[in-house]
Structures are given as structure tokens and as C-alpha cells.
Amino acid sequence: MHQNIQRLSLIPIFLVAWLQLSSFTVTPSKISFHEAAAFYTFGDTVSFRVTCESENPITEALLFVAIAGQSTRVIPVTPNSTGALQYDLDASSDPIRPFAEVRYWYQIKDGKGEEGRSREYSFVYTDNRFSWSSHKDEQFEIYWSTTDARIGRQILAIARRSLQNALKYYPAATTEAIKIYIYENTDDLRLALAPGQHTWTVGHASPEDATILIVLADGMKTKAEVERLLPHEITHILQAAYSRDNFSSLPAWLVEGSASVAELRPDPERRAVLQSAAAANALIPIEELCTSFPNDDAAAYLAYAESESFVQFLVREYGADSLVRLTEQSSPERTCQEAFYTTYKQSLPEIEAEWQKQVVGVSSANNPAGDMTALAALLVLLILAPLAPALAIAIQTRRGK
């Protein structure tokens, strides 16, 4: 298998994406576009520029900015006296997903109603605060910003095993080469992501771009932590590739539970937290985890623990292929409960009750929903317990935000 290591030179603080130096004429000899370019400072401003030529005065100009998984931005732009268009997008208030492909084009109209549309231009919104080294094969592209050349090979070896494990649950999923970017600390990663990340975020997947971001900070450079993070995030990439446009319709507990089950080194604390919650009558009903996980850190961690255990139960009782069938049944037209019943021929509460009885050791009658006093006690447990950094897999991962 061909591999190569290359060093990417430090990109200047303003990255210039020169995309089309020659003109592109939509309406011959009437409207043309020249010297389209995009400049950016990561996390700050993205400047779009192009020069237009028209036989008549330009009366309307629009800039279209498209990023996979987001609504296309349609931005009115006023040309200057020379026909040049420029728009500065504030990426601090209107964030762009790191390492996403940004596609853009222009549409203008002149005083006589003639319309012209430019070709489509694109660039990758790379985090150019850092100089990235790389190590690649046919399945993965590994990028890191430290001087340790061993990191690329080490992460690649774990990524290959992680992919094989994830494929047990989504065997038919196909994806482009998965890109993995390794940050040195959580602050650098959080600044790269959209505002509102948890302080403990150390892993993030963007399925739209087949891209994974992880942190290898000083206290976390252990094989065990990487063997938790990478399979988890790789599973999200496969889920999105398999479900395509229906990814956002998948139950949150399925998305996170199957990713947790795929981990090469499962977090041992989750089992203890699950048992403590059960003893305190603080289990969260699985139905409440269909759409999203709680924002509270303690409740979110419990949601991960429950989802992992419940998915393990489904795999044991109904086979791993049942997860694929549930994925296929999930769509905007079906509720979580409807997709579940179509797949398993029993309701979600019925199978949840069996899971609680067999695995957790409680009956549904002993699990009143929303016991916040018990959940507060559970929070104390989480604070005191030496939680593994796998807690830090961000809730936002499933949506690639």
C-alpha cells in the first residue's frame, strides 16, 4: 500500500485561493467575470472578490456561498465604479465549518435586464493557524501540527483498526478518504469549532466532509484514549455515508450508542454510571434520547452510557444488522418510535423494559422519569469519579456542528 509523508509549509495569515484568472463568459461579449479570488484569516474574515465586465451598468449582484449540510447563503453585493465586487464574510459571527469545502459563484443583472452567472469556484477552509504535516494512504489522511513525525504512523495504524471495527455495524458504508486532524490542546480545537462547545470537547466529526478533529494534549497521549476517540468518530462518518440525506433523522441514541459500541477501548466508567443511575431511579427513558442528548454534562454522560448499553443489547438479541435496518427505516417521514417498531416488531418502551430487566437489573416500574434529585446526586458521582477523557466526545458530533 503506497504511503507518503509530506510537510505542508506554513500558510500566510491571509490564505489566497486564486481560482480563475481567465474570464468566464456566460452571455458572450456582454457579461464576463475575471480574477475571482477568496482570501481569509481562519476564524475571522473571508473576503470574496471578482471583477465583472458588462456593456451596460450593473444594477444587481448576488454572491452565493454553499457549504455541504448548510443552507446556501445568498448575499447582495454592491459593485464599485470599476465593476469589482467584494464581500467580507464575518466568520466569527457566521462560522464556517473547519476544513469544509466552500463553493461560491456570482450572478449579476445589468440595466437592460441581461443576466450573467459565473462559473463555480471553491476552496477548502483550512485552519491556517498551523503548519500541518501529513501521512496518507488510500483510506486515511492524517494531519498534525507538532514536530513528532511518529504521530502520523501511529494514528494511521489505530485508524485502520478503528475502521474495521466500525464496519462491523455499518458494513456496506462507503466513504471518501477520511481526514483526521490532530490538535495539541483543547483550546485550539474549541477555537476551530463553532461557539458553544463543551469545555471537555476533545473529539469532533464532520460527516459532510469526512473529517475528524481530535485532541492529543499532554495528559491524553495514550493509546487507550485514541482507541476510544477514533472508532467513535469514524463510526459517525460511516453512519452519515450509509444514511446519506437521512442522517439527521437517525435517533440520537442509535448514533451515539453504536459509535460507543464500536470503540476499541470502551470507557469503563459508563457501566458504573449506568448502575448508579439505575439504583437512584434516574435512568433517562430511551424515547427522550431520540432527538438529542441533554445539555447538562452529567445527564449527557448518562445518555452516552445508556445508549451504549441499549445498543449492545440490541446487537446481542437481534444482531448487528438490525442497526442497519433501523438506519434504513429512519427518515423525516417516520418518528423514532415508528422506525423502531418497523424494525423490531415491538415498541421502543417494550424492548427498553426488557433491556432494563436483563442488563441494568431494574424494572420500568422502578424508573420514574425525571428524578432530578437523583440526577443531582449522579452529578456528584461524575465530578468525583476519575472519568476517562472519552467523556469528551462532543454531543455536537452527530450533527457535525
Residues 240 and 401 sit within 8 Å (Cβ to Cβ):
no
Check pLDDT > 60 for residue 224. yes
| Percentage of residues in the chain having pLDDT higher than 70 | 80
Lowest mean pLDDT among 92-96, 239-243, 391-395: 391-395
pLDDT in tens, 145-174: 887 888 899 999 999 999 999 999 998 777
Check pLDDT > 50 for residue 121. yes
pLDDT in tens, 256-304: 999 999 999 888 899 999 999 999 989 999 999 999 999 888 899 999 9
pLDDT in tens, 351-399: 999 999 998 876 545 444 444 444 544 454 444 344 434 444 433 344 3
pLDDT in tens, 6-25: 444 444 434 444 444 333 44
Residue 273: which of 239, 241, 308, 320 has the closest Cα? 308
Check pLDDT > 60 for residue 254. yes
Mention every residue, 6+ apart, whose C-beta is less than 8 A from residue 147.
none
Residues 378 and 270 sit within 8 Å (Cβ to Cβ):
no
pLDDT score for 200: 58
Residues 77 and 62 sit within 8 Å (Cβ to Cβ):
yes
CB atoms within 10 A of CB 363: 10
Mean pLDDT computed over 68-75? 92
Q: Which domains does the chain have, with CATH numbers?
A: 15-124 (2.60.40.10), 133-399 (1.10.390)
